[in-house]
Amino acid sequence: MNEETKTFKEEQQQTLSWPFKAWTLLSLIRTQTSLIQCITNFVSMDLMANTLLSSGASPAMIHSLQEIPDFTPNIKSLCINIGTLTPDWLPSMKSAAMVATQLGIPWVLDPVAVSASEYRMKACLELVGLKPSVIRGNASEICALGCGSKGADKVLFITSKFCTHIKGSTVYMELTIRNVQTDVSYGVRGQGVDSSHESMDAVEAAKSLARASGAIVAVSGAVDIVTDGQQVVGAHNGVAMMQRITATGCAVTALIATFVAVDPLHPLEATVSALSIFGVAGEMAMDMAKGPASLRMHLIDCLYGLDQTSVLSRVNITSI
């Protein structure tokens, strides 16, 4: 249904149904123990794996290029995070992304610090060209990738030619990237992993990136924004101190991959549910925390222990 034609009553009904959707997906994750491959940065590995385990999923931090042909076809979804990107890891990321896309396995991209360098931006655009189901970043990252449609233009400039043959367990790949302009400024430079923008400032950039890439785009922050390029929804959960723990963003990106694994046909709903559920766990954890370190511990415990009553009363998702 067209968003503009929705009546107030329909809007209200949808808002009321989000908590049930989030609870249903969390329950599926707990019963299905989905295998999730995470190719991620060194900082986030521990928190990411523990977040997925406490949600009920089975994380595997497997990144060797040699293992991808055997392993990746068996996963339920893939999370790729460029946080500590080096040239020797990028082929693994591309190979896993290509296998996932080829086999219809959903995958999620976290464009950590995408505007830190030309190298990182180009690598990230190549990954965007390999058709992620979801892209989740903080506001500065999504602005850099999609802002003023400058970044989005570059996504469109990418022409990717795939030639992937799966013979037994061997995947041969050939990837041609053309026209990625390296002589044009991508905007703000030297931005690190933390955001200097509010999530609401990145709504237009997120919509433009979603339209250019075909992915669902999520922007984390005080309100987590999720869009398919048309519809925009927000999850109003979480606490500000979650930003004071490194890799909570990375962890929630992997949680999105886990939610998409159990509902691959509805990636927008799965994404906003994951963000809200992680936020709810953060809110409950904050009641017991003395600071970032104890918040981190309680966050994992609260995600593990989340019950139906807490989810139904706390999940707060609305149209934006």
Which residues make up the interface to ligand ATP (CB under 6 A)? Answer: 112, 138, 193-195, 220-222, 224, 238-240, 242-243, 246-250, 252, 275, 278-279
Query: To 5 degrees, how large is the angle CA 201–CA 207–CA 210?
Result: 135
Minimum CB–partner distance for residue 10 and ligand TZE (Å): 38
Which range, of 41-49, 149-157, 233-241, 306-314, touches ligand TZE by CB under 6 A? 41-49
57 sits near ligand TZE (criterion: CB under 6 A): no
| Alpha-carbon span 242 to 311, nearest angstrom | 19
Enclosing H/E stretch for 220 = strand 216-220
Minimum CB–partner distance for residue 86 and Mg ion (Å): 17
Number of H helices, E strands in the chain: 12, 13
43 sits near ligand TZE (criterion: CB under 6 A): yes
| Alpha-carbon span 279 to 3, nearest angstrom | 26
Task: Determine the residue with CB nearest ligand TZE.
Answer: 83
Determine the angle formed by the axes of helices 45-55 and 8-32, rounding to 10 degrees: 100
Residue 84 interacts with, from ligand TZE, ligand ATP, Mg ion, none (CB under 5-8 Å by kind): ligand TZE
Find the binder of ligand TZE among 19, 59, 69, 83 (CB under 6 A). 83
Show contacts with ligand TZE in window 250-289 (CB under 6 A). 250
Amino acid at 191: Q
Minimum CB–partner distance for residue 93 and ligand TZE (Å): 14
| Alpha-carbon span 260 to 77, nearest angstrom | 7
Number of residues that bind ligand TZE (CB under 6 A): 10
Of 164 and 246, CB closest to ligand TZE: 246
Residue 194 interacts with, from ligand TZE, Mg ion, ligand ATP, none (CB under 5-8 Å by kind): ligand ATP
Of 135 and 233, CB closest to ligand TZE: 135
Of 41 and 101, CB closest to ligand TZE: 41
Of 216 and 275, CB closest to ligand ATP: 275
Q: Are 269 and 21 in contact (CB under 8 A)?
A: yes
Phi, psi of 186 (to 5 degrees): -90, 10
124 sits near ligand TZE (criterion: CB under 6 A): no
Which range, of 60-68, 139-147, 207-215, 246-254, touches ligand TZE by CB under 6 A? 246-254
Instruction: Reduce the secondary structure of 75-121 to three states and give it as a string.
Output: CCEEEEECCCCCCCCHHHHHHHHHHHHHHCCCEEEECCCHHHCHHHH
Of 99 and 135, CB closest to ligand ATP: 135
Please list, residue by residue across 126-151, b when 16 or more beta carbons sit within 10 angstroms of its beta carbon and e when fewer do.
bbbbbbbbbbbbbbbbbbbbbbebbb
Strand order in the sheet with 58-60: 58-60, 35-39, 77-81, 107-110, 134-138, 216-220, 224-227, 232-235, 317-319
Of 84 and 318, CB closest to Mg ion: 84
Minimum CB–partner distance for residue 73 and ligand ATP (Å): 28
Q: How far apart are the first and last CA of the chain?
A: 16
38 sits near ligand TZE (criterion: CB under 6 A): no
242 sits near ligand TZE (criterion: CB under 6 A): no
Q: Are strands 216-220 and 134-138 parallel, antiparallel or unpaired?
A: parallel
- Residues contributing to the site for ligand TZE (CB under 6 A): 41, 43-44, 83-84, 112, 193, 246-247, 250
- Residues contributing to the site for Mg ion (CB under 5 A): 112, 249
